[in-house]
Amino acid sequence: NAGVTQTPKFQVLKTGQSMTLQCAQDMNHEYMSWYRQDPGMGLRLIHYSVGAGITDQGEVPNGYNVSRSTTEDFPLRLLSAAPSQTSVYFCASSGAGYDEQFFGPGTRLTVL
């Protein structure tokens, strides 16, 4: 199993550009989530999904959209990138009845 995979690993955007961060898992996990990690801030939850077709907002959802059309994939869309969205983004998943989360390797995003 590949676990949780994220693409790209690095991305540089200009202010106002849009892009999609990809996340996929092959563990048949129902729960998936997106976090951002900023220096000295720990991880903050952006959006999460408890199954295909079901998503909800986390602590810092503004400026981001998500959808969950399949169990495996949970993309994160930046609608109009801003410098404040410069961060490292992590995707995570967990299975029903399990509380621990499995994390992807992260995407380092810089918005100029």
Partner 1 sequence: SQQGEEDPQALSIQEGENATMNCSYKTSINNLQWYRQNSGRGLVHLILIRSNEREKHSGRLRVTLDTSKKSSSLLITASRAADTASYFCATDTSSGYSTLTFGKGTMLLVSP
Which residue lies nearer to partner 1 by CB, 61 or 103? 103
Edge-first strand order for the sheet with 4-7 is 4-7, 19-25, 76-78, 64-66
Which residue lies nearer to partner 1 by CB, 30 or 72? 30
Chain residues binding partner 1 by CB under 8 A are 4, 30-31, 33, 35, 40-45, 48, 50, 58-59, 90, 92, 94, 96, 98-106
How do the residues of the chain divide into helix, strand and coil, expressed in percent and rounded to 5?
5, 55, 45
Which residue lies nearer to partner 1 by CB, 85 or 89? 89
Closest by CA position to 70, among listed 32, 111, 108? 32
CB of 81 to partner 1, least distance (A): 22
Distance CA(59)–CA(69), nearest Å, equals: 22
In residues, how long is the chain?
A: 112
CB of 15 to partner 1, least distance (A): 25
CB of 35 to partner 1, least distance (A): 8
Which residue lies nearer to partner 1 by CB, 57 or 70? 57
DSSP-assigned letter for residue 96: T
What are the beta bridge partners of residue 8?
Answer: none
CB of 70 to partner 1, least distance (A): 18
